[in-house]
Structure 1
Amino acid sequence: MPIADQALVKKMNRKLILDEILNNSPISRANLSEITGLNKSTVSSQVNELIEKDFIFEIGTGQSRGGRRPVMLVFNKNAGYSIGIDIGVDYLNGVIADLEGNIILEKSSVLSDSSASEIKEILFALVHDFITHIPRSPYGLVGIGICIPGLIDSNQEIIFMPNSKWHIKDLKRLIENEFHVPVFIENEANAGAYGEKVFGTTKNYENIIYISINVGIGVGIIINNELYKGVNGFSGEIGHMTIDFNGPKCSCGNRGCWELYASEKALLDSFSTEAKNLLRKEIVELANKNDVAALNALQNFGFYISIGITNILNTFDAQAIILRNNIIESHPIVLNTIKNEVSSRVHSHLENTCELLPSSLGKNAPALGAVSIVIDHFLNAAAS
């Protein structure tokens, strides 16, 4: 066998073993050999290399099935740490996580009409602060994941942000030059979908749709366990599908876009002039007090969301649709309205085979998705 092929096989075997330890630890060398089908000498050699690189470590012995009790192997989740930051239209949310996605620190701040220079300053300050809180570890900061509500091309350059005033096309390069670690830029809804798939309640589902409802609406699509991004990386802009062909002009150039009716901005705009400055939290508080105007507004909010979801269900036939929105997660009237409207509009088989769920990760879903992208790349490199 050529040397290049031997090196590739060795890399593939190491990645296979590392994945099994990550997913099934504590696990013995013998069990690794049984699960992977690799001979014991190959497993032993690869395990020793992973131990030397601090990716795994040995703990006490397990139960014997005859003969010596096996030494158990555990993935070293503290070998390094990653940073994930979700830059929304009016907020910034960041987390530090270990290699299993456990959050060790999170910070949020409000953004208001921030320019590109202000975004860069706030972002860099947060990362510098996060770095001071990362525990000592063999690999330290292994990467930074950033997600934004806009179009990201296959080169991870920011192409278009319809609801934000700032635009830094080469954000990836700027961050890499400042912090000297790998940086990954992703669409916010894609990151949220990936976060829910890796860490959320739908981790065992193969086909899920993640809908992020904020100032605009973004959609992340998981098909056969893979994030679907389209040819150019622009898939999921379902917030800009037309639901009213005579509707108002959207910032994207289209008319009657779904997000003009079903976004949080549309919800806030539906209130009277005197009440338009209400905060999301205040709307929920009013609804909890049975305020008629607030309850009607939330019911309409759910109705318009259901129109888009009906189209999505008929298009993708997913196992679950996940809704990420603070208001939906805070008051049942919206989700109940959505479920009732969708039920009246789709075939019963679609309704019975797809779950409509609020996000299990809440506001941290996109940041954790960005973290998981960093971790994936780091562990893939570790196997090489």
Structure 2
Amino acid sequence: MFKNTTWNQYTIKNGNKSIVLETILKESTISRAEIANKTGLNKGTVSSQVSELLNEELIYEKGPGASSGGRRPVMLLFNQRAGYSIGIDIGVNYILGILTDLEGNICNEKSINFHNLSFENLTHKLMNVIDDLTSTAPASKYNIVGIGIGVPGSVNKLGEVLLAPNLGWQNVKLKETMENVYKCPVIIENEANAGAYGEKKFGRGKRETDIVYVSVGVGIGVGLVLNGELYRGMNGFSGEMGHMTIEVNGMRCRCGNKGCWELYASEQALIQQADDFGITEDEDTLDKMIELAEKGDKHAIESFQTIGNYLGAGITNIINSLNPKQVIIGNRLVGAKDWIEQPLLERTKANALWFQQHELQIIFSELNTHSSALGVAAFTFENFLKDKMHQETSHMLVNK
């Protein structure tokens, strides 16, 4: 009886602290009295939880606010610089890393390009990026609270990369490897899922509850936000739509299938034409093709238009299957928006069922290549804040 009462007592206290912190996060600047009014918690409870959060340096006080008749209240703000998060997007030919504060504001970033690296060599470069970002983090109470890594492949709920065909990875324990090196929480997520979450939290999906995020780089991944929540599927493998068959007797894909969507609607379609445009293996095919298109090269423009048409065909299948409110196209191919947008929209308009198109938005990300890195950074610092509340509860229970 006593144990149950004790558990309930501290669970309630912990829940109250979470409510107070979430309210401060949501409102940006708020007084103790306003927190009590908005949450329904009594003023004594709010004052107690605010004191604990101040001691933990998760919030801070900022000068008096406007008076409503009495003494001017002291305003409270979330301390987004109490710690920092690292978000990494591993592409097929690049690594993009960002250092963010606890609200997702980018403090620093680093990117590198590569070609056909082994897992060992790629992880070495990955650690170089992480080390560089870590060295630039300002001094803070909690330092680096965790590392999030988005990868272009199937990731299970344990953070194991089961298959990343475009990287040549299979059954890779990336989470275990990185946690052994950095001794901090590491989250491994499919990069398209991370991108969908990044768009929902920071991008053009903020106001929508049903989003399809289509990540188009050397491969294609799809992240789904349904009813306001990231949808991962039963085992975490949802969104592998880059490998849906778009050409029945098409080319062989690295996944083992034939005619996969990403062979025709991603950078892979450009890479197959690189020799025709005199682009060498050491050059970035997409950048060179964009450069040619900007100069009015007819064949380069036609290549992008063909990709837009194929993108539209695959997106039509997604629209007819899921009836989303919003489709957001992100990752590197956003740089070619000027040439792929029109054929993409024409294809979806012509082929998507007419009643599926009511209020549908098909738009391009304004976060460009940063959606996934921001998404995994957010997973990381949000988990830190949740764990901070849990640790406080556990600590009090042990001491009790």
Does the 8 Å contact 1:271/1:297 carry over to 2?
no
**2:290 matches 1:284:** yes
Correspondent of 1:177 among 161, 165, 180: 180
**Other-structure match for 2:325:** 319
Match of 1:371 among 356, 377, 388: 377
Aligned pairs (5 A) from 1:20-59: 20-59=23-62
Aligned-pair distance for 1:178?
Answer: 1.1
- The alpha-carbon deviation at position 84 of structure 1 amounts to 0.8
Distance, in Å, in 2 between the alignment partners of 1:44 and 1:332 is 54
CA distance in 2, matches of 1:118, 1:279: 22
Task: Answer yes or no: is 1:110 the counterpart of 2:116.
Answer: no
| Residue 303 (1) aligns with residue 301 (2) | no
- By how many angstroms is 1:122 displaced? 1.1
Aligned partners of 1:328 and 1:335 also within 8 Å: no
1:353 maps to what in 2? Answer: 359
- Identity over the aligned pairs, expressed in percent? 43
Range moving further from structure 2, 362-371 or 322-331: 322-331
Q: Does residue 203 in structure 1 map to residue 206 in structure 2?
A: yes
Q: Is the 8 A contact 1:114 1:166 kept in 2?
A: no
Q: Which amino acid aligns with 1:306?
A: G
Q: Between Structure 1 and Structure 2, how many residues are aligned?
A: 384
For the pair 1:16 / 2:22, whether they are aligned, the reply is no
- TM-score by length of structure 1 reads 0.96
Task: Tell me the SS of whatever aligns to 1:234.
Answer: coil
Any idea what the Cα deviations from partners look like across 1:249-284, whole Å, max 9, x if unmatched?
322222221112111111332466454647212212
Residue 29 of structure 1, CA deviation: 1.1
Give the whole-Å Cα distance in 2 for the aligned partners of 1:300 and 1:109.
Answer: 29
Distance in 1 between residues matched to 2:332 and 2:219, nearest whole Å? 14
Per the alignment, in what secondary structure is the counterpart of residue 353 of structure 1? coil
More displaced stretch, 359-368 vs 300-309: 359-368
CA change 1:328–1:144 in 2 (3 A) is closer
Task: Please tell me whether the aligned partners of residues 290 and 335 of structure 2 are also in contact (alpha carbons under 8 angstroms).
Answer: no
Distance 1:136 1:15 in 2: 25
When residues 272 and 143 of structure 1 are mapped into structure 2, their CA distance, relative to the original with a 3 A threshold, is closer
1:114–1:228 Cα change, 3 Å: same
SS of the residue corresponding to residue 172 of structure 2 reads coil
Q: What is the match of residue 259 of structure 2?
A: 256
Using the TM superposition, name which of 12-21 and 140-149 deviates more: 12-21
Aligned mate of 2:92, from 75, 89, 95:
89
Partner amino acid for 1:287? A
Shift of the alpha carbon at 1:326? 2.9
1:213–1:253: structure 2 CA closer, same or farther, 3 Å change rule? same
Shift of 1:348: 3.8
Q: Aligned equivalents of 1:337 and 1:102: distance in 2?
A: 35
Corresponding residue for 1:380?
386
Instruction: Report the counterpart of residue 347 of structure 2 in structure 1.
Output: 341
In structure 1, what is the Cα distance between the partners aligned to 2:289 and 2:244? Answer: 27
Is the 1:116–1:167 Cα contact (8 Å) retained in structure 2? no
User: TM-score, length-normalised on structure 2?
Assistant: 0.92
Q: Which sections of structure 2, spanning at least 5 residues, go unmatched?
A: 391-400
Whether the 8 Å CA contact 2:270–2:285 is kept in 1: the answer is: no
> 1:154-233 residue pairs with structure 2 within 5 A?
154-166=157-169, 169-233=172-236
AA of the residue aligned to 1:109: I
Name which of 125, 128, 153 aligns with 1:125. 128
Q: Deviations over 1:292-333 (max 9, x none)?
A: 111211111100000010011111221211111434334412
| Consecutive aligned runs of 4 or more in structure 1 exceeding 4 Å deviation | none
Kept in 2, the 8 Å contact 1:284–1:331? The answer is: no
The one-letter code of the counterpart of 1:239 is G
1:16-60 deviations in Å (ceiling 9; x for gaps): 211111121201111111211211111111111101100001111
